[in-house]
Each structure stands twice: as C-alpha cells, then as structure tokens.
C-alpha cells in the first residue's frame, strides 16, 4: 500500500497530458460516437489510448534523458541546412494549423458549456469573451491557480461519467465486442468519428508539452521508470473516462435517432446519476474543460515553435508571445463566425489533429533512435515496432479521411 501511495505522489506530467486531452473535444466526440454507433467504435478509443501511452512514454523518456523539449531535439537531429529548414517549416505549419483548429474547438466548447446554463447569451458572444479573458490571463501569467480549479471540476465530471457508466448497467458482452472486434459502419460519419476519437486523444502538441514538463520535474535518467509509470497510470485512466462517456452516450441516445448538436442534449446522459442537476453540472464541466485548454493550447504551440527555432522558452520573449497570440486570436475569430454548430467545429478540430499526428510521430521516432541523443535509452526493437504500427494505422486512417476532412472544412466555411 505504501509503495502504491508513493507511486501516486510521482504522478505529474502524465496527469497534465490526460487533463489536456479530456477536454470538450473528448466529451463531444465520444458522445457523438456512442449516440451514433453504440459500442461499435470502442476499439478506436482503445487504440487511441494505447497509441497515446506508446508515444507519450517515448516523449517523456526523451525529456528526462536529454533534458530538452522535443522541438530542441528535432533541431539538433536534423543539421543539414535544406533538410533542417524543411523539417522546421513542416513542424511549425503542422503545430500552428493543428493548434488553431484545436483552439477554436476549445473556445467553442467552453462557450457551449456556458450556453447550456445561460442560454440567453449566444455562443458567438461567449466564445470571443472567453478568448479575451484567456488572453489577459496568458499575458499576466496569473492563470495557474485558476487552471488548477478548472482541472478539479473536470476531474469531478469524469468521476460522474464513470459512475453513470456503472449505474446504467450496460451490456458488457457488447462492450467487449466493441473493444476487441473492430468494425466500421458503412458511413462517412463513422470514418470522421474514428479520426476524431484518435485526434481528441493522441494530441500532437502534447508530445512537445510532455517532453518539456518531464525535463523540469525529473533530471535523473534513472527516473525514466517513474515517468513511464506516471504515463501509463494517468493516460490509462484518461482512456477509461473516455470509454465511459461512449458507454453512457450509447445508453442515452443510441437508436433514438437524435443528432447531437448541443451540450444540453449531451447532459441528458448524466441524468441517471444527477437528475435535474445534469444540465448544470455538464455545462460547468465542459466550460472548465474548454477554458483550461484555451489557455494551454496556445502555450503549447509557442513552446513547440520556440524549441524548433532555438528561441528558448522565455515566457516574456516577444517572439514567444507572438506565437500564442496568433493561435489565440485566430481561435477567437473563428469562434465568433459561428457559421455552424459547436459540435461540428469540435469534430473538425479533432480530425485536423489526427491528420497532423503521423508527421509529429515520425519525427519523434527518428529522434528516439538517435544513439548520440538517447544512448542506452533509445528505442528498443519492440518499441519501434509498436511505434511503427501506431504511425502506420494513423497514416491509413488519415489518407482515408482527407476527402471527408475537406468536405467538413467547406461546411465550416459555408462554401
């Protein structure tokens, strides 16, 4: 028991990663999955969780061994001028595009939560207002205590989802089949949902965040095992929470013919446990998830960009500030347009992330096989095989989903 408690004390960067991916995108995408396809896409969530553990373990190991972030290590690995700038441009483009899409989903998700409890105000008003508040918090640096409070609310919401998944007495046989017998309903929406489940869990910018945060927490290479345990426990729990949302949504909506368009609809899946309080609880929870991520996503983009360009990670640096300002302001603008439903925006963000993921995962794997950087802690044959399987599957899904992605983009732009 004492050893277990000691391990719990070491939970750190992995928990931050889990808190980052359990945002409005996770709740929305998992709810849409359960409502539209029942338990049949649980396998995609299981794959996403395992893929996240594999890639984040690699990122954490990199941070401890090199005491650098992923951006710095990629910069050090690719030294040929032409190749170096190709890699720099590719990564910056991927991170900025992905984080802008993600930031829009975060802002819209937070606004959707507020719109559930205060429907008199449009999400087109709530979204920019939340973005402006986030701007001043980021500029002042006084956001950390507030962020802890919001993460606490998200954790409470997660506990309720797991409790609900137990109370509703789901079909465990169907759950096991959904987890271990991959099936794909013959609709375009199913493919987009699978991409969304991957994009909401295996988040590319978290690979940069994890390496940087681990290097600040641990500076002894012997603590690689501690970091690995932190990653497995934290992200494993995050995956269970996401599966619980799919299960509760399946029980609440599957077969009803409802199309999920609002947080108010999603809140009904918590009524077996919370009754009339479900709407308030869900609204506050998804607002907290969205607002917390609204703050962390621009910072992650700035850390990744500063690392790959060799700027350092000084929060007061004008170039560093410029990156997060671009991401945040673009997210505010897109959230204010409000040409489509919040759910559609969030699903688009997850799809964008899933398409970008293989690019970052390939660079991570290349760096982890550098003997000069990693020494005896470089990837083993087994780790490389697992990483290649993850990369291969994400590439196949991304290629299959490109046409759906651009169709969704045209809908968002009203074309």
Q: Is the pLDDT of residue 285 over 80?
A: no
Domain containing residue 382: 2-413
* pLDDT score at 9: 56
* pLDDT score at 97: 74
Rounded Cα–Cα distance for residues 36 and 400 (Å): 20
* pLDDT score at 304: 84
Q: Is the pLDDT of residue 392 over 70?
A: yes
Provide, rounded to the nearest whole percent, the portion of the chain with pLDDT above 90.
18
Rounded Cα–Cα distance for residues 298 and 107 (Å): 12
CB 364 within 8 A of CB 57: no
Residue 315: phi and psi, rounded to 5, are -60, -20
Q: Is the pLDDT of residue 49 over 60?
A: yes
Q: Is the pLDDT of residue 4 over 60?
A: no
* pLDDT score at 265: 73
Domain count of the fold of the chain: 1
231-251 confidence digits (pLDDT tens): 998 899 889 989 988 998 888
Of 22, 51, 356, 405, the residue nearest 193 (C-alpha)? 405
* pLDDT score at 408: 60
For residue 33, give Cα distances in angstroms to 30, 108, 265: 5, 19, 14
For residue 143, give Cα distances in angstroms to 176, 276, 398: 41, 32, 35
CATH code, domain carrying 132: 1.20.1740.10
* pLDDT score at 276: 77
* pLDDT score at 82: 82
- Across 48-76, average pLDDT: 91
Joined together, the tokens standing for residue 178 give 């959904």
Would you place residue 341 in the very low, low, confident or very high pLDDT band (cuts 50, 70, 90)? low
Would you place residue 384 in the very low, low, confident or very high pLDDT band (cuts 50, 70, 90)? very high
Tell the residue number behind the tokens 């000069």, with chain if given. 372
108-132 confidence digits (pLDDT tens): 888 888 887 787 887 778 888 888 9
Q: Is the pLDDT of residue 410 over 80?
A: no
Of 408, 396, 394, the residue nearest 360 (C-alpha)? 394
* pLDDT score at 50: 95
- The CA-based angle 236-241-244, given to 5 degrees, is 125
Lowest mean pLDDT among 159-173, 258-272, 374-388: 258-272
Three-state DSSP at 315 gives coil
Helices (H), 310-341: 318-337
Mean pLDDT taken over the chain: 81
CB atoms within 10 A of CB 41: 27
- The CA-based angle 353-357-362, given to 5 degrees, is 165
Contacts for 289 with CB less than 8 Å, ≥ 6 apart: 22, 23, 24, 26, 27, 109, 110, 113, 150, 154, 157
| Angle (deg, nearest 10), helices 342-368 and 204-217 | 60
* pLDDT score at 351: 65
Q: Is the pLDDT of residue 72 over 90?
A: no
Rounded Cα–Cα distance for residues 138 and 151 (Å): 17
**Better-scored residue on pLDDT, 232 or 408:** 232
Rounded Cα–Cα distance for residues 324 and 332 (Å): 12
* pLDDT score at 262: 63
pTM: 0.84
Burial of 198 (0-12, 13-18, 19+ CB in 10 A): buried
For residue 251, give Cα distances in angstroms to 45, 104, 168, 187, 398: 17, 29, 7, 21, 29
Q: Is the pLDDT of residue 354 over 80?
A: no
Of 31, 107, 42, 45, the residue nearest 282 (C-alpha)? 31
174-216 confidence digits (pLDDT tens): 999 999 999 888 777 788 788 778 877 888 888 888 887 888 7
* pLDDT score at 342: 58
* pLDDT score at 409: 62
* pLDDT score at 325: 92
Element (H, E) at 61: helix 42-66
């Amino acid at each position: 028991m004492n050893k277990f408690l000691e391990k719990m004390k070491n939970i750190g960067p992995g928990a931050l990663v889990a808190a980052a991916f359990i945002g409005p995108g996770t709740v929305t995408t998992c709810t849409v999955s359960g409502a539209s396809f029942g338990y049949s896409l649980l396998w995609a969530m299981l794959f996403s969780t395992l893929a996240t553990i594999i890639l984040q373990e690699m990122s954490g190991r990199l941070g401890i061994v090199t005491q650098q972030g992923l951006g710095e290590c990629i910069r050090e690995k690719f030294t040929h001028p032409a190749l170096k700038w190709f890699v720099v441009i590719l990564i910056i483009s991927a991170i900025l595009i992905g984080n802008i899409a993600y930031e829009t989903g975060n802002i819209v998700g937070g606004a959707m939560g507020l719109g559930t409890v205060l429907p008199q105000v449009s999400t087109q008003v709530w979204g920019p207002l939340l973005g402006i508040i986030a701007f001043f918090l980021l500029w002042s640096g006084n956001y950390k205590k507030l962020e802890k409070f919001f993460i606490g609310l998200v954790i409470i919401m997660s506990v309720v989802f797991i409790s609900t998944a137990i109370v509703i007495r789901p079909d465990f046989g169907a759950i096991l089949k959904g987890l271990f017998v991959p099936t794909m309903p013959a609709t375009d929406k199913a493919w987009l949902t699978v991409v969304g489940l991957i994009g909401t869990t295996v988040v590319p910018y978290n690979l940069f965040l994890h390496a940087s945060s681990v290097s600040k927490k641990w500076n002894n290479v012997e603590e690689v095992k501690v970091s690995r345990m932190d990653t497995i426990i934290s992200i494993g729990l995050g995956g269970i929470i996401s599966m619980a949302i799919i299960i509760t949504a399946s029980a609440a909506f599957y077969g009803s013919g409802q199309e999920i368009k609002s947080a108010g609809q999603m809140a009904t899946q918590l009524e077996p446990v919370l009754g009339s309080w479900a709407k308030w609880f869900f609204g506050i929870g998804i607002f907290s998830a969205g607002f917390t991520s609204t703050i962390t996503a621009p910072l992650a983009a700035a850390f990744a960009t500063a690392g790959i360009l060799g700027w350092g990670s000084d929060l007061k640096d004008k170039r560093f500030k410029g990156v997060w300002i671009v991401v945040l302001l673009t997210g505010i603008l897109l959230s204010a347009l409000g040409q489509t439903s919040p759910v559609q925006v969030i699903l688009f963000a997850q799809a964008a992330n899933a398409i970008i993921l293989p690019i970052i995962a390939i660079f991570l794997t290349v760096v982890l096989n550098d003997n000069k950087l990693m020494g005896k802690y470089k990837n083993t044959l087994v780790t490389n095989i697992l990483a290649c399987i993850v990369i291969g599957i994400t590439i196949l899904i991304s290629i299959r989903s490109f046409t759906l992605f651009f169709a969704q983009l045209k809908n968002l732009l009203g074309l």
